[in-house]
Structure 1
Amino acid sequence: MRANAIGANEHGGLGALFDEMHKLRARVFAGRLGWRVKVEYGRERDEYDALDPTYILALTDLGGVAGCARLLPTTGPTMLSHTFPQLLPGGRLHGKSNMVESSRFCVDTRGEGRGGEGFDEIATATDVRLERILHRAGWPMTRPGGIKLIGETMSVAGILPADQTSFERMCPPGYRSDVRRLQRVAA
């Protein structure tokens, strides 16, 4: 498995991977979690995908999308500030140039899918179950606000450190990173 950071303007020739990512998001957010998200032709997209995000794609050894996340600078529109302001004190995220928002994080749990620089914090909206998993993994979140029920999900806003120390704390003994940037490939 490998992780790839792909800028929204860098995905020439990688359309099939982006298509897989949007299908995975539909299966997870609309299907498994039952969120009211916009799904067309089996693919989930929202207005934040039009803001030139960076996507993190976790790819299987066979090249399939096993998981994904979307990163946006917190100095512009974000899900936390525009879609989930109720999770933040005063309804506002105090964005910084060295912070990104992570959204649309999901993992393919069906079975066949298993197998960046410039920022030091990640802001995200998540559910309390994932917050507990992150804490057990050694990556505790700081909550700027309280817990709110959104739909059927107990949700929180969180700020996570994105530094080498946090990364190393979460890695199992002997772990070796194989994170690479995808190169543009011909279709």
Structure 2
Amino acid sequence: MMQLITPDLYGEFASELKEMHGLRHRVFKERLDWEVQTEGEMETDAFDGFKPVYLLLKGSDWRIRGCVRLLPTTGPTMLRDTFSGLLGTDVVPSTPDIWESSRFALDLPPSTPKAAGGLAQATYELFAGMIEFALANNLTRIVTVTDTRMERILRLATWPLSRIGQPKPVGKTEAVAGFLEISHASLLRIRWRGRLNGPVLWQPVLGLSA
């Protein structure tokens, strides 16, 4: 199940958010050895303080198995405030119909079902949840900073990244910025390749709270 947590629901789902920060520590600090801020086996950064929306993927055991963070580009973003060197000559997007995704992470057991391209079905679920959220909130694109490994995964999933500038070394990885298309066609492709039956995203009321 995909769960959408908006800022007004942080208190209600505090335990899920704590578990998410632990997952991010395992993925970004322990597995990938990125230079990220950690404390008490949890990973957080300044952008968690700007009231993002979180998408959480829960397994059949109800544990958090994946996450992604979403922020409007009209406010602070990682691309504008941390990785502007990846833009080249492009202008930082700042419009209500484009949001930024970051901290995409999955921590899956070996038994996780696979789908097209050899990717975990859970990868497609998280991608589908991002697109469903974006369509529900009239977004046209998602901008992101990722590494070239993740760029290959997006290509395999048929949701390719449209690059902004060229990849550059950032810490221990090669980072690249780009846009992801938001459309019903892209959602249908993700659902088909991921063998997903219908919508994956759940919230009491889908969309942003006032």
Normalised by the size of structure 2, how large is the TM-score?
0.80
Partner-residue secondary structure (3-state), 2:95: coil
Question: By how many angstroms is 1:13 displaced?
Answer: 2.5
1:134-149 correspondence to structure 2 within 5 Å: 134-149=154-169
CA offsets 1:4-25 (integer angstroms, 9 cap, x no match): 1111221222111111100001
- The residue type equivalent to 2:77 in the other structure is T
Q: Distance in 2 between matches of 1:130 and 1:178?
A: 21
Unaligned runs of 5+ in 2: 114-121, 123-132, 206-210
Partner-residue secondary structure (3-state), 2:8: coil
CA offsets 1:157-181 (integer angstroms, 9 cap, x no match): 0100122110111223663123211
1:94 corresponds in structure 2 to 93
Residue number among 191, 196, 208 corresponding to 1:175 in the alignment: 196
Query: Are 2:178 and 1:158 equivalent residues in the alignment?
Result: yes
The structure with the largest helix share of the pair is: 2
Unaligned runs of 5+ in 1: none
- The residue type equivalent to 2:196 in the other structure is Y
Stretch moving more, 56-65 or 172-181? 172-181
1:1-187 correspondence to structure 2 within 5 Å: 2-90=1-89, 92-111=91-110, 116=133, 117-118=136-137, 119-172=139-192, 175-176=196-197, 177-181=199-203
RMSD over aligned CA atoms reads 2.0
CA offsets 1:20-69 (integer angstroms, 9 cap, x no match): 10000111111111111110111111110010100000011221101000
Q: Distance in 1 between matches of 2:200 and 2:176?
A: 31
Q: Distance in 2 between matches of 1:17 and 1:73?
A: 22
Q: Distance in 2 between matches of 1:111 and 1:24?
A: 16
Q: Distance in 2 between matches of 1:14 and 1:23?
A: 15
Partner-residue secondary structure (3-state), 1:171: helix
Whether contact under 8 Å (1:85, 1:92) holds in the other structure is no
Partner-residue secondary structure (3-state), 1:19: helix
Q: Distance in 2 between matches of 1:66 and 1:90?
A: 37
Identity score, percent: 37
The 1:107/1:78 distance shift into structure 2, 3 A limit, reads: same
CA offsets 1:130-158 (integer angstroms, 9 cap, x no match): 11111121111111111101112111001
Stretch moving more, 163-172 or 123-132? 163-172
Q: Distance in 1 between matches of 2:103 and 2:183?
A: 21
